[in-house]
Amino acid sequence: MQDKVNVHMGEYKIAEAPIILQSIGLGSCVGVCLYDKSKKTGGLAHIMSANSKKKKEEVNPHRFADLAIDALIKDMKEKGCKKTFLSAKIFGGASMFPGVMTLSNIGEDNVIAVKQKLKKLNIKIVAEDTGGSKGRSIWFDTTDGSVVVSQIKGETKMM
């Protein structure tokens, strides 16, 4: 059995093969999986909010797309990963209550923010399963960078 490490809301974790990084119950949150194939090292950030501009006080920076991805990459570099070798897979960003105006854009905004950030950093998105109105769980295998995605009463797929 491979060891599994949970990555909860507002957290990121880094692991080397053969550890599996998992985020259970991504709703509007986005799971950003970064993988360095040469080092067989992965990083997973579980992002809650698109941007940090609305904050009124000191807030956990790892809730935010921009700040969490920066921090994750910095830590991955410290573990010997090279930014140029990183590829990304992103999951989540659903709208759990599609009828609610104030909530309906949160997931989509998170996905857009993550994409903008990755584009700025020149990190290619090689797989994506985002949007819709159902929650997702992801298991990110650091041995090969593959990600298993599942939904309640939905299909399970490998990406």
Active site residues: 29
* From 136, 138, 139, 141, residue interacting with other proteins (rule: CB under 8 A): 136
* From 32, 114, 129, 137, residue interacting with other proteins (rule: CB under 8 A): 137
Q: Which is nearer to other proteins, 5 or 59 (CB)?
A: 59
- Min dist. Cβ of residue 130 to other proteins (A): 13
* From 10, 31, 43, 145, residue interacting with other proteins (rule: CB under 8 A): 10
Q: Which is nearer to other proteins, 27 or 145 (CB)?
A: 27
Residue 77's CB: how many other CB atoms inside 10 A?
13
Q: Which is nearer to other proteins, 93 or 145 (CB)?
A: 93
- Min dist. Cβ of residue 72 to other proteins (A): 16
Give how far the C-alpha of residue 46 lies from the chain's centroid of Cα atoms, to the nearest Å. Answer: 5
* From 94, 118, 147, 149, residue interacting with other proteins (rule: CB under 8 A): 94
Q: Please spell the DSSP secondary structure of the chain, one letter per residue.
A: ---EEE--TTEEEEEETT-EEEEEEESSSEEEEEEETTTTEEEEEEE-BS-GGG-SS---GGGBHHHHHHHHHHHHHHTT--GGGEEEEEEE---SSTT-HHHHTHHHHHHHHHHHHHHHTT-EEEEEEE-SSS-EEEEEETTT--EEEE-TTS-EEE-
11 near other proteins, rule: CB under 8 A: yes
Binding string, residues 24-53; x marks residues near other proteins by CB under 8 A: xxxxxx------------------xxxxx-
